[in-house]
Amino acid sequence: MAPEHFDVLIMGAGLSGIDAAHHLQKLCPNKSYVILEQRDRMGGTWDLFRYPGVRSDSDMLTMGYSFRPWTSPKAISPGDDIRDYISATAHDEGLDRNIRFRHQIKRAAWSSAEARWTVQAVRKLPDGREEPVALTCNFLFSCAGYYRYSGGYTPEFPDIDVFQGRVVHPQAWPQDLDYSGKRMVIIGSGATAVTLVPALAKTAGHVTMLQRSPTYIISMPEQDTKANWLRSVLPAMWAYRLSRWKNVGFMIYLYQLSQRFPNFIKDGLLKKVREELGPDYDVATHFTPRYKPWEQRLCLVPDSDLFQAIKSGRAGVATGEIETFTGNGIRLKSGEELHADIIVTATGLVMQTFGGIELSVDGRDIDPGETLAYKGVMMSGVPNLASVFGYINASWTLKADLICNYVCRLLNFMDSKGLRQVTPMNRGEQAAAPFVENFSSGYMQRALTKWPKQGSKPPWRVHQNYIRDTITLKWTPVDDGALEFSNPLETSPKLAPRELAQAAK
Ligand SMILES: Cc1cc2nc3c(=O)[nH]c(=O)nc-3n(C[C@H](O)[C@H](O)[C@H](O)COP(=O)(O)OP(=O)(O)OC[C@H]3O[C@@H](n4cnc5c(N)ncnc54)[C@H](O)[C@@H]3O)c2cc1C
Protein backbone atom coordinates (compact mmCIF):
# COMPACT_ATOMS: atom_id res chain seq x y z
CA MET A 1 0.00 0.00 0.00
CA ALA A 2 1.34 3.47 -0.85
CA PRO A 3 2.13 5.58 2.22
CA GLU A 4 -0.34 8.30 3.14
CA HIS A 5 0.60 11.54 1.37
CA PHE A 6 0.39 15.21 2.40
CA ASP A 7 1.41 18.41 0.68
CA VAL A 8 3.23 19.58 3.81
CA LEU A 9 4.44 17.66 6.83
CA ILE A 10 5.21 19.74 9.92
CA MET A 11 7.59 18.24 12.47
CA GLY A 12 6.64 19.28 16.02
CA ALA A 13 3.56 20.78 17.68
CA GLY A 14 5.27 23.47 19.76
CA LEU A 15 4.95 27.23 19.46
CA SER A 16 6.39 27.12 15.92
CA GLY A 17 4.50 24.05 14.67
CA ILE A 18 1.16 25.64 15.57
CA ASP A 19 2.34 28.89 13.97
CA ALA A 20 3.18 26.96 10.78
CA ALA A 21 -0.21 25.22 10.74
CA HIS A 22 -2.03 28.54 11.19
CA HIS A 23 -0.14 30.11 8.29
CA LEU A 24 -0.70 27.11 6.01
CA GLN A 25 -4.39 26.98 6.78
CA LYS A 26 -4.78 30.70 6.17
CA LEU A 27 -2.42 31.37 3.27
CA CYS A 28 -2.40 27.99 1.48
CA PRO A 29 -5.96 26.76 2.18
CA ASN A 30 -5.79 24.11 -0.54
CA LYS A 31 -2.73 22.39 0.88
CA SER A 32 -3.15 19.26 2.94
CA TYR A 33 -0.88 19.08 5.96
CA VAL A 34 -0.19 16.97 9.02
CA ILE A 35 1.79 17.66 12.19
CA LEU A 36 3.78 14.78 13.67
CA GLU A 37 4.55 15.28 17.35
CA GLN A 38 6.67 12.88 19.36
CA ARG A 39 5.07 13.71 22.69
CA ASP A 40 1.56 13.21 24.13
CA ARG A 41 0.73 16.90 24.20
CA MET A 42 1.38 20.06 22.23
CA GLY A 43 3.27 23.10 23.51
CA GLY A 44 6.84 21.80 23.14
CA THR A 45 9.13 23.71 25.51
CA TRP A 46 6.16 25.13 27.41
CA ASP A 47 4.82 21.70 28.16
CA LEU A 48 8.14 19.94 28.78
CA PHE A 49 9.64 22.33 31.32
CA ARG A 50 7.80 22.07 34.64
CA TYR A 51 10.30 23.39 37.17
CA PRO A 52 9.01 25.79 39.83
CA GLY A 53 8.51 29.32 38.52
CA VAL A 54 9.03 28.40 34.84
CA ARG A 55 8.22 31.49 32.78
CA SER A 56 9.15 33.43 29.67
CA ASP A 57 12.18 35.64 29.79
CA SER A 58 11.01 37.78 26.94
CA ASP A 59 7.79 39.77 26.88
CA MET A 60 4.74 37.97 25.55
CA LEU A 61 3.72 40.97 23.47
CA THR A 62 6.53 40.01 21.10
CA MET A 63 6.56 36.32 21.94
CA GLY A 64 2.86 35.92 21.19
CA TYR A 65 1.76 35.19 17.62
CA SER A 66 1.34 38.17 15.29
CA PHE A 67 -2.20 36.98 14.55
CA ARG A 68 -3.49 36.35 18.08
CA PRO A 69 -3.35 39.03 20.78
CA TRP A 70 -1.74 38.21 24.10
CA THR A 71 -4.40 39.45 26.52
CA SER A 72 -3.08 38.41 29.91
CA PRO A 73 -1.94 41.38 32.02
CA LYS A 74 1.36 39.59 32.67
CA ALA A 75 3.86 40.38 29.91
CA ILE A 76 6.47 38.15 31.53
CA SER A 77 4.35 35.06 31.66
CA PRO A 78 4.25 31.80 33.60
CA GLY A 79 4.92 28.72 31.44
CA ASP A 80 1.39 27.34 32.02
CA ASP A 81 -0.20 30.42 30.47
CA ILE A 82 2.02 30.13 27.41
CA ARG A 83 1.08 26.47 27.02
CA ASP A 84 -2.63 27.39 27.31
CA TYR A 85 -2.19 30.13 24.70
CA ILE A 86 -0.63 27.68 22.23
CA SER A 87 -3.33 25.05 22.89
CA ALA A 88 -6.15 27.60 22.63
CA THR A 89 -4.78 28.80 19.27
CA ALA A 90 -4.65 25.23 17.95
CA HIS A 91 -8.09 24.42 19.30
CA ASP A 92 -9.90 27.59 18.18
CA GLU A 93 -8.57 27.27 14.63
CA GLY A 94 -9.08 23.52 14.40
CA LEU A 95 -5.35 23.00 13.88
CA ASP A 96 -5.26 20.31 16.56
CA ARG A 97 -7.28 18.00 14.31
CA ASN A 98 -4.18 17.66 12.15
CA ILE A 99 -1.77 16.69 14.93
CA ARG A 100 -0.70 13.08 15.30
CA PHE A 101 0.77 12.67 18.76
CA ARG A 102 3.33 10.02 19.85
CA HIS A 103 4.90 10.04 16.38
CA GLN A 104 8.65 10.52 16.53
CA ILE A 105 10.25 11.19 13.17
CA LYS A 106 13.49 9.29 12.70
CA ARG A 107 14.51 10.00 9.12
CA ALA A 108 13.43 11.70 5.93
CA ALA A 109 14.63 10.88 2.43
CA TRP A 110 14.10 13.14 -0.59
CA SER A 111 13.62 11.70 -4.04
CA SER A 112 14.10 14.16 -6.90
CA ALA A 113 12.52 11.68 -9.32
CA GLU A 114 9.23 11.92 -7.42
CA ALA A 115 9.73 15.39 -5.87
CA ARG A 116 8.71 14.12 -2.46
CA TRP A 117 10.00 13.25 0.96
CA THR A 118 9.48 9.84 2.47
CA VAL A 119 9.29 10.34 6.22
CA GLN A 120 9.91 7.43 8.57
CA ALA A 121 8.51 7.75 12.07
CA VAL A 122 7.91 5.55 15.07
CA ARG A 123 4.49 5.56 16.69
CA LYS A 124 4.22 4.78 20.40
CA LEU A 125 1.15 2.67 21.08
CA PRO A 126 -0.85 3.01 24.32
CA ASP A 127 0.58 -0.32 25.56
CA GLY A 128 4.14 0.99 25.15
CA ARG A 129 4.98 -0.93 22.00
CA GLU A 130 6.35 0.96 19.02
CA GLU A 131 5.46 0.56 15.37
CA PRO A 132 7.00 2.08 12.26
CA VAL A 133 5.00 4.58 10.22
CA ALA A 134 5.88 5.94 6.77
CA LEU A 135 4.35 9.02 5.18
CA THR A 136 5.23 11.04 2.12
CA CYS A 137 5.04 14.79 1.59
CA ASN A 138 6.04 17.39 -0.97
CA PHE A 139 7.43 19.80 1.58
CA LEU A 140 8.96 19.12 4.99
CA PHE A 141 8.70 21.90 7.56
CA SER A 142 10.82 21.33 10.65
CA CYS A 143 9.41 23.06 13.73
CA ALA A 144 11.27 20.74 16.08
CA GLY A 145 12.98 23.42 18.17
CA TYR A 146 16.70 23.44 18.75
CA TYR A 147 17.45 21.00 21.55
CA ARG A 148 17.19 17.35 22.51
CA TYR A 149 14.03 16.45 24.41
CA SER A 150 15.28 13.20 25.91
CA GLY A 151 17.67 14.87 28.36
CA GLY A 152 19.42 18.13 29.23
CA TYR A 153 23.13 18.83 29.42
CA THR A 154 25.04 17.90 32.56
CA PRO A 155 28.83 18.31 32.58
CA GLU A 156 30.92 15.53 34.09
CA PHE A 157 31.27 16.67 37.68
CA PRO A 158 33.92 14.83 39.74
CA ASP A 159 32.46 12.44 42.33
CA ILE A 160 28.85 13.32 41.59
CA ASP A 161 27.94 9.78 42.77
CA VAL A 162 29.40 10.45 46.20
CA PHE A 163 26.79 13.12 46.94
CA GLN A 164 24.19 11.71 49.32
CA GLY A 165 21.36 14.08 48.45
CA ARG A 166 19.36 14.31 45.25
CA VAL A 167 20.59 15.72 41.92
CA VAL A 168 17.91 17.14 39.64
CA HIS A 169 18.01 18.60 36.11
CA PRO A 170 15.37 21.28 35.37
CA GLN A 171 14.47 19.59 32.06
CA ALA A 172 13.19 16.58 34.02
CA TRP A 173 11.89 18.16 37.21
CA PRO A 174 10.36 15.48 39.50
CA GLN A 175 6.86 16.70 40.29
CA ASP A 176 7.00 15.02 43.71
CA LEU A 177 10.23 16.78 44.77
CA ASP A 178 9.75 18.13 48.29
CA TYR A 179 12.25 20.90 48.87
CA SER A 180 10.57 22.77 51.71
CA GLY A 181 13.12 23.64 54.37
CA LYS A 182 15.93 22.03 52.33
CA ARG A 183 19.32 23.51 51.49
CA MET A 184 19.61 23.79 47.73
CA VAL A 185 22.44 24.60 45.37
CA ILE A 186 21.55 25.58 41.79
CA ILE A 187 24.49 25.18 39.41
CA GLY A 188 24.23 27.73 36.60
CA SER A 189 23.57 31.40 36.00
CA GLY A 190 21.39 31.40 32.89
CA ALA A 191 17.67 32.09 32.49
CA THR A 192 16.68 28.82 34.17
CA ALA A 193 18.86 29.36 37.24
CA VAL A 194 17.72 32.94 37.80
CA THR A 195 14.10 31.80 37.48
CA LEU A 196 14.54 28.92 39.87
CA VAL A 197 16.32 30.80 42.66
CA PRO A 198 13.47 33.14 43.75
CA ALA A 199 10.81 30.47 43.12
CA LEU A 200 12.58 27.87 45.30
CA ALA A 201 13.62 30.42 47.93
CA LYS A 202 9.95 30.87 48.88
CA THR A 203 9.89 27.48 50.61
CA ALA A 204 13.42 26.03 50.63
CA GLY A 205 15.61 26.46 53.69
CA HIS A 206 18.24 28.29 51.66
CA VAL A 207 19.15 28.50 47.97
CA THR A 208 22.64 29.17 46.60
CA MET A 209 23.13 29.97 42.94
CA LEU A 210 26.57 28.58 42.10
CA GLN A 211 28.05 30.06 38.94
CA ARG A 212 31.43 29.74 37.28
CA SER A 213 31.02 33.27 35.95
CA PRO A 214 28.22 35.86 36.11
CA THR A 215 25.54 36.77 33.57
CA TYR A 216 24.00 40.17 32.77
CA ILE A 217 20.71 40.48 34.57
CA ILE A 218 18.08 43.12 34.03
CA SER A 219 14.86 43.58 35.96
CA MET A 220 11.65 44.47 34.14
CA PRO A 221 8.11 44.91 35.48
CA GLU A 222 6.10 41.68 35.16
CA GLN A 223 3.19 43.75 33.89
CA ASP A 224 3.58 46.16 30.98
CA THR A 225 1.44 49.06 32.21
CA LYS A 226 1.42 50.84 28.84
CA ALA A 227 0.24 47.68 27.06
CA ASN A 228 -2.43 47.08 29.71
CA TRP A 229 -3.64 50.66 29.38
CA LEU A 230 -3.78 50.39 25.58
CA ARG A 231 -5.85 47.22 25.95
CA SER A 232 -8.32 49.01 28.18
CA VAL A 233 -8.99 51.74 25.58
CA LEU A 234 -8.50 50.03 22.21
CA PRO A 235 -9.74 46.84 20.52
CA ALA A 236 -7.49 43.93 21.59
CA MET A 237 -5.77 43.49 18.21
CA TRP A 238 -4.95 47.19 17.79
CA ALA A 239 -3.61 47.43 21.32
CA TYR A 240 -1.55 44.28 20.77
CA ARG A 241 -0.03 45.55 17.51
CA LEU A 242 0.93 48.88 19.02
CA SER A 243 2.46 47.27 22.12
CA ARG A 244 4.27 44.75 19.95
CA TRP A 245 5.91 47.43 17.83
CA LYS A 246 6.76 49.45 20.94
CA ASN A 247 8.61 46.45 22.37
CA VAL A 248 10.20 45.41 19.07
CA GLY A 249 11.51 48.97 18.70
CA PHE A 250 12.87 49.01 22.24
CA MET A 251 14.61 45.64 21.79
CA ILE A 252 16.25 46.67 18.52
CA TYR A 253 17.34 49.96 20.09
CA LEU A 254 18.83 48.20 23.14
CA TYR A 255 20.58 45.54 21.04
CA GLN A 256 22.06 48.05 18.57
CA LEU A 257 23.19 50.29 21.42
CA SER A 258 24.84 47.25 23.07
CA GLN A 259 26.67 46.43 19.84
CA ARG A 260 27.91 49.99 19.30
CA PHE A 261 28.52 51.14 22.87
CA PRO A 262 29.01 47.94 24.91
CA ASN A 263 30.79 49.67 27.79
CA PHE A 264 28.06 52.27 28.13
CA ILE A 265 25.37 49.55 28.31
CA LYS A 266 27.50 47.45 30.64
CA ASP A 267 27.90 50.37 33.06
CA GLY A 268 24.17 51.03 32.96
CA LEU A 269 23.27 47.39 33.66
CA LEU A 270 25.73 47.11 36.56
CA LYS A 271 24.57 50.41 38.05
CA LYS A 272 21.03 49.02 38.19
CA VAL A 273 22.25 45.87 39.97
CA ARG A 274 24.14 47.98 42.52
CA GLU A 275 20.99 50.00 43.16
CA GLU A 276 19.06 46.75 43.70
CA LEU A 277 21.54 45.07 46.05
CA GLY A 278 23.01 48.06 47.87
CA PRO A 279 26.55 49.42 48.20
CA ASP A 280 27.87 46.56 50.37
CA TYR A 281 27.10 43.78 47.91
CA ASP A 282 30.03 42.40 45.88
CA VAL A 283 28.61 43.16 42.43
CA ALA A 284 32.09 43.00 40.87
CA THR A 285 32.43 39.29 41.74
CA HIS A 286 28.87 38.02 41.37
CA PHE A 287 27.16 40.18 38.75
CA THR A 288 29.91 41.48 36.43
CA PRO A 289 30.22 39.18 33.39
CA ARG A 290 33.47 38.65 31.47
CA TYR A 291 31.78 39.20 28.13
CA LYS A 292 30.07 42.17 26.46
CA PRO A 293 26.28 42.65 26.76
CA TRP A 294 24.39 40.40 24.31
CA GLU A 295 27.31 38.08 23.58
CA GLN A 296 25.01 35.81 25.55
CA ARG A 297 21.28 36.15 26.08
CA LEU A 298 20.48 38.89 28.58
CA CYS A 299 18.66 37.41 31.59
CA LEU A 300 15.47 39.14 32.46
CA VAL A 301 13.97 38.94 35.95
CA PRO A 302 10.43 40.19 36.67
CA ASP A 303 9.94 42.81 39.38
CA SER A 304 13.48 42.25 40.73
CA ASP A 305 12.45 38.87 42.19
CA LEU A 306 16.00 37.48 42.15
CA PHE A 307 17.41 40.54 43.90
CA GLN A 308 14.59 40.46 46.49
CA ALA A 309 15.38 36.82 47.28
CA ILE A 310 19.05 37.68 47.78
CA LYS A 311 18.25 40.71 49.94
CA SER A 312 15.91 38.64 52.10
CA GLY A 313 18.80 36.30 52.96
CA ARG A 314 16.90 33.26 51.65
CA ALA A 315 19.16 33.06 48.60
CA GLY A 316 22.77 33.83 47.83
CA VAL A 317 25.30 33.66 45.01
CA ALA A 318 28.63 31.81 45.00
CA THR A 319 31.06 32.41 42.14
CA GLY A 320 33.80 29.88 41.57
CA GLU A 321 34.79 26.60 39.96
CA ILE A 322 33.69 23.24 41.27
CA GLU A 323 36.54 21.04 42.48
CA THR A 324 34.38 18.09 43.41
CA PHE A 325 31.05 16.91 44.72
CA THR A 326 31.25 15.65 48.31
CA GLY A 327 28.86 13.61 50.44
CA ASN A 328 27.35 16.85 51.76
CA GLY A 329 27.42 19.07 48.73
CA ILE A 330 30.09 20.74 46.63
CA ARG A 331 33.66 21.89 47.28
CA LEU A 332 34.94 24.77 45.16
CA LYS A 333 38.52 25.18 43.96
CA SER A 334 38.77 28.11 46.36
CA GLY A 335 38.22 25.61 49.20
CA GLU A 336 34.74 26.93 50.00
CA GLU A 337 32.19 24.18 50.84
CA LEU A 338 28.54 24.49 49.88
CA HIS A 339 26.29 22.17 51.85
CA ALA A 340 23.19 20.92 50.10
CA ASP A 341 20.32 18.46 50.43
CA ILE A 342 19.38 18.93 46.78
CA ILE A 343 21.57 20.05 43.87
CA VAL A 344 19.96 21.36 40.70
CA THR A 345 22.08 21.22 37.56
CA ALA A 346 20.73 24.19 35.57
CA THR A 347 23.59 23.58 33.15
CA GLY A 348 21.69 23.82 29.91
CA LEU A 349 20.43 21.99 26.91
CA VAL A 350 21.89 19.68 24.31
CA MET A 351 21.30 21.45 21.04
CA GLN A 352 20.31 19.48 17.98
CA THR A 353 19.18 20.24 14.45
CA PHE A 354 15.95 19.08 12.80
CA GLY A 355 14.68 17.09 15.78
CA GLY A 356 17.70 14.79 15.59
CA ILE A 357 16.49 13.08 12.40
CA GLU A 358 18.64 11.65 9.60
CA LEU A 359 18.24 13.42 6.28
CA SER A 360 19.15 12.23 2.80
CA VAL A 361 18.70 13.62 -0.71
CA ASP A 362 18.61 11.11 -3.57
CA GLY A 363 20.42 8.54 -1.46
CA ARG A 364 23.12 10.98 -0.25
CA ASP A 365 23.25 11.60 3.53
CA ILE A 366 23.01 15.26 4.51
CA ASP A 367 25.24 16.71 7.19
CA PRO A 368 23.65 20.08 8.05
CA GLY A 369 27.06 21.33 9.24
CA GLU A 370 28.35 21.04 5.66
CA THR A 371 25.59 23.22 4.19
CA LEU A 372 24.97 26.95 3.98
CA ALA A 373 21.85 28.43 5.51
CA TYR A 374 19.61 30.12 2.96
CA LYS A 375 17.90 33.14 4.60
CA GLY A 376 18.19 31.21 7.88
CA VAL A 377 15.30 29.04 6.61
CA MET A 378 16.56 26.42 4.13
CA MET A 379 19.83 24.59 3.45
CA SER A 380 21.98 24.68 0.31
CA GLY A 381 21.51 21.54 -1.78
CA VAL A 382 18.47 20.32 0.19
CA PRO A 383 15.15 20.63 -1.68
CA ASN A 384 11.74 21.41 -0.22
CA LEU A 385 12.82 21.63 3.41
CA ALA A 386 12.45 24.63 5.72
CA SER A 387 12.98 24.97 9.44
CA VAL A 388 12.30 27.49 12.17
CA PHE A 389 15.09 28.87 14.29
CA GLY A 390 14.00 32.03 16.12
CA TYR A 391 15.99 34.94 17.49
CA ILE A 392 18.48 34.69 20.28
CA ASN A 393 18.40 38.44 20.96
CA ALA A 394 14.61 38.83 20.77
CA SER A 395 11.48 36.72 20.97
CA TRP A 396 11.56 33.44 19.07
CA THR A 397 8.09 33.94 17.64
CA LEU A 398 8.95 37.14 15.78
CA LYS A 399 11.14 35.13 13.42
CA ALA A 400 8.93 32.02 13.49
CA ASP A 401 6.04 34.14 12.15
CA LEU A 402 8.23 35.54 9.35
CA ILE A 403 9.51 32.09 8.38
CA CYS A 404 6.00 30.59 8.31
CA ASN A 405 4.81 33.43 6.14
CA TYR A 406 7.81 32.99 3.82
CA VAL A 407 7.23 29.25 3.42
CA CYS A 408 3.62 29.94 2.38
CA ARG A 409 4.80 32.56 -0.15
CA LEU A 410 7.28 30.05 -1.54
CA LEU A 411 4.65 27.30 -1.83
CA ASN A 412 2.17 29.65 -3.48
CA PHE A 413 4.83 30.89 -5.90
CA MET A 414 5.66 27.32 -6.89
CA ASP A 415 2.00 26.47 -7.35
CA SER A 416 1.43 29.52 -9.50
CA LYS A 417 4.27 28.39 -11.79
CA GLY A 418 3.46 24.68 -11.70
CA LEU A 419 6.76 23.86 -9.97
CA ARG A 420 7.39 21.03 -7.53
CA GLN A 421 10.99 21.27 -6.40
CA VAL A 422 12.99 24.17 -4.98
CA THR A 423 16.63 23.95 -3.95
CA PRO A 424 18.87 26.74 -2.60
CA MET A 425 22.01 26.49 -4.75
CA ASN A 426 25.35 27.58 -3.41
CA ARG A 427 27.32 28.81 -6.41
CA GLY A 428 30.71 29.50 -4.90
CA GLU A 429 29.70 31.18 -1.63
CA GLN A 430 32.06 30.19 1.21
CA ALA A 431 31.12 29.48 4.82
CA ALA A 432 32.03 32.67 6.66
CA ALA A 433 30.47 32.35 10.11
CA PRO A 434 28.50 29.95 12.31
CA PHE A 435 24.69 29.96 12.15
CA VAL A 436 24.62 32.24 15.21
CA GLU A 437 27.42 34.81 15.33
CA ASN A 438 29.11 36.55 18.27
CA PHE A 439 27.30 34.48 20.84
CA SER A 440 29.47 32.82 23.44
CA SER A 441 26.91 30.73 25.39
CA GLY A 442 28.33 27.31 26.25
CA TYR A 443 25.42 25.38 24.79
CA MET A 444 25.69 27.27 21.48
CA GLN A 445 29.43 26.79 21.25
CA ARG A 446 29.07 23.06 21.87
CA ALA A 447 26.64 22.66 19.00
CA LEU A 448 27.29 25.14 16.26
CA THR A 449 29.73 22.98 14.29
CA LYS A 450 26.78 20.72 13.45
CA TRP A 451 24.56 23.56 12.25
CA PRO A 452 24.40 25.08 8.76
CA LYS A 453 26.91 27.90 8.26
CA GLN A 454 26.37 31.46 7.11
CA GLY A 455 27.90 32.92 3.98
CA SER A 456 29.23 36.46 3.73
CA LYS A 457 26.34 38.08 1.87
CA PRO A 458 22.56 37.76 1.42
CA PRO A 459 20.69 35.45 0.99
CA TRP A 460 23.27 33.35 2.84
CA ARG A 461 23.34 35.54 5.95
CA VAL A 462 21.36 34.73 9.11
CA HIS A 463 20.19 37.99 10.64
CA GLN A 464 19.29 38.57 14.25
CA ASN A 465 17.29 41.60 13.20
CA TYR A 466 13.53 41.69 12.82
CA ILE A 467 13.44 44.67 10.44
CA ARG A 468 16.03 43.15 8.07
CA ASP A 469 14.27 39.79 8.16
CA THR A 470 10.93 41.40 7.46
CA ILE A 471 12.43 42.84 4.27
CA THR A 472 14.24 39.61 3.31
CA LEU A 473 11.46 37.16 4.11
CA LYS A 474 8.30 39.16 3.49
CA TRP A 475 9.03 41.69 0.79
CA THR A 476 11.90 40.37 -1.35
CA PRO A 477 10.78 38.41 -4.47
CA VAL A 478 10.84 34.64 -3.94
CA ASP A 479 12.72 33.96 -7.18
CA ASP A 480 16.00 35.63 -6.23
CA GLY A 481 18.44 33.66 -8.39
CA ALA A 482 19.78 31.57 -5.51
CA LEU A 483 16.79 29.23 -5.53
CA GLU A 484 16.81 26.66 -8.29
CA PHE A 485 13.39 25.47 -9.35
CA SER A 486 13.02 22.16 -11.08
CA ASN A 487 10.27 19.81 -11.93
CA PRO A 488 10.34 16.05 -12.16
CA LEU A 489 7.81 16.28 -14.96
CA GLU A 490 10.77 17.58 -16.89
CA THR A 491 13.72 15.37 -17.72
CA SER A 492 15.52 18.30 -19.33
CA PRO A 493 18.25 20.20 -17.45
CA LYS A 494 17.18 22.64 -14.75
CA LEU A 495 15.21 25.59 -16.09
CA ALA A 496 14.33 29.03 -14.85
CA PRO A 497 10.81 29.34 -13.36
CA ARG A 498 9.28 31.01 -16.43
CA GLU A 499 10.51 28.31 -18.81
CA LEU A 500 9.43 25.59 -16.42
CA ALA A 501 5.95 27.02 -16.11
CA GLN A 502 5.59 26.97 -19.89
CA ALA A 503 6.91 23.42 -20.05
CA ALA A 504 4.44 22.30 -17.38
CA LYS A 505 1.43 23.66 -19.31
C1 LIG B 1 13.24 26.96 29.59
C2 LIG B 1 13.15 27.75 28.31
C3 LIG B 1 12.70 29.07 28.34
C4 LIG B 1 12.61 29.78 27.16
N5 LIG B 1 12.16 31.08 27.21
C6 LIG B 1 12.06 31.79 26.07
C7 LIG B 1 11.57 33.13 26.08
O8 LIG B 1 11.22 33.68 27.10
N9 LIG B 1 11.49 33.78 24.92
C10 LIG B 1 11.86 33.21 23.73
O11 LIG B 1 11.74 33.85 22.72
N12 LIG B 1 12.31 31.96 23.70
C13 LIG B 1 12.43 31.23 24.82
N14 LIG B 1 12.90 29.94 24.77
C15 LIG B 1 13.18 29.34 23.48
C16 LIG B 1 11.96 28.46 23.16
O17 LIG B 1 12.33 27.19 22.91
C18 LIG B 1 11.11 29.10 22.10
O19 LIG B 1 10.54 30.26 22.61
C20 LIG B 1 9.94 28.26 21.58
O21 LIG B 1 9.26 27.59 22.61
C22 LIG B 1 10.41 27.31 20.56
O23 LIG B 1 9.27 26.75 19.97
P24 LIG B 1 9.39 25.62 18.88
O25 LIG B 1 8.04 25.16 18.60
O26 LIG B 1 10.21 26.12 17.74
O27 LIG B 1 10.27 24.49 19.58
P28 LIG B 1 9.88 23.60 20.83
O29 LIG B 1 9.15 24.35 21.84
O30 LIG B 1 11.15 22.95 21.26
O31 LIG B 1 8.90 22.50 20.22
C32 LIG B 1 9.39 21.53 19.32
C33 LIG B 1 8.38 20.40 19.22
O34 LIG B 1 8.86 19.47 18.26
C35 LIG B 1 8.75 18.15 18.77
N36 LIG B 1 9.78 17.32 18.14
C37 LIG B 1 11.12 17.47 18.21
N38 LIG B 1 11.74 16.51 17.51
C39 LIG B 1 10.78 15.72 16.98
C40 LIG B 1 10.80 14.57 16.15
N41 LIG B 1 11.95 14.02 15.73
N42 LIG B 1 9.61 14.01 15.80
C43 LIG B 1 8.43 14.54 16.20
N44 LIG B 1 8.36 15.65 16.99
C45 LIG B 1 9.52 16.24 17.37
C46 LIG B 1 8.96 18.33 20.27
O47 LIG B 1 8.43 17.25 21.00
C48 LIG B 1 8.23 19.65 20.53
O49 LIG B 1 6.88 19.47 20.82
C50 LIG B 1 13.00 29.20 25.93
C51 LIG B 1 13.49 27.89 25.93
C52 LIG B 1 13.58 27.18 27.09
C53 LIG B 1 14.11 25.78 27.04
16 lines ligand 1 (CB under 6 A): yes
Report the nearest-CA residue for atom 9 of ligand 1: 58
Report the nearest-CA residue for atom 52 of ligand 1: 45
Angle (deg, nearest 10), helices 396-417 and 497-504: 50
**Three-class DSSP category at 248:** helix
293 lines ligand 1 (CB under 6 A): no
Taking the C-alpha atoms of residue 130 and residue 123, their distance in angstroms, rounded to an integer, is: 5
Q: Is the peptide bond before 458 cis (omega within 30 degrees of 0)?
A: no
Instruction: Please name the amino acid found at residue 102.
Output: R
> Which residues neighbour 194 within 8 Å (Cβ) at sequence distance 6 or greater?
209, 215, 217, 299, 301, 306
The rounded Å distance from CA 166 to ligand 1 centre is: 27
388 lines ligand 1 (CB under 6 A): yes
Report the nearest-CA residue for atom 12 of ligand 1: 396
215 lines ligand 1 (CB under 6 A): no
Q: Which atom of ligand 1 is nearest to the CA of 44?
A: 49
The rounded Å distance from CA 390 to ligand 1 centre is: 10
Taking the C-alpha atoms of residue 163 and residue 330, their distance in angstroms, rounded to an integer, is: 8
Nearest to 142 by CA among 40, 36, 3: 36
> Which residues neighbour 37 within 8 Å (Cβ) at sequence distance 6 or greater?
12, 13, 17, 99, 100, 101, 102, 103
136 lines ligand 1 (CB under 6 A): no
Report the nearest-CA residue for atom 37 of ligand 1: 144
Taking the C-alpha atoms of residue 211 and residue 187, their distance in angstroms, rounded to an integer, is: 6
Substitution candidate for ligand 1 out of 50, 395, 396 with most atoms within 8 A of CB: 396
Nearest to 39 by CA among 131, 124, 134: 124
Tens of pLDDT, residue by residue, the chain (505 residues): 789 999 999 999 999 999 999 999 999 999 999 999 999 999 999 999 999 999 998 899 999 999 999 999 999 999 999 999 999 999 999 999 999 999 999 999 999 999 999 999 999 999 999 999 999 999 999 999 999 999 999 999 999 999 999 999 999 999 999 999 999 999 999 999 999 999 999 999 999 999 999 999 999 999 999 999 999 999 999 999 999 999 999 988 888 888 899 999 999 999 999 999 999 999 999 999 988 888 877 898 999 999 999 999 999 999 999 999 999 999 999 999 999 999 999 999 999 999 999 999 999 999 999 999 999 999 999 999 999 999 988 899 999 999 999 999 999 999 999 999 999 999 999 999 999 887 767 777 778 889 999 999 999 999 888 999 999 999 999 999 999 999 876 444 454 555 444 544 4
38 lines ligand 1 (CB under 6 A): yes
460-489 pLDDT, tens digit per residue, is 999 888 999 999 999 999 999 999 999 876
347 lines ligand 1 (CB under 6 A): no
356-413 pLDDT, tens digit per residue, is 999 999 999 999 999 999 999 999 999 999 999 999 888 999 999 999 999 999 999 9
The pTM of this model reads: 0.94
| Alpha-carbon distance values, 116 to 109, 362, 377 (Å) | 8, 10, 19
89 lines ligand 1 (CB under 6 A): no
Taking the C-alpha atoms of residue 21 and residue 35, their distance in angstroms, rounded to an integer, is: 8
105 lines ligand 1 (CB under 6 A): yes
The rounded Å distance from CA 427 to ligand 1 centre is: 33
Nearest to 141 by CA among 318, 10, 19, 276: 10
**Using an 8 Å Cβ cutoff, are 36 and 136 in contact?**
no
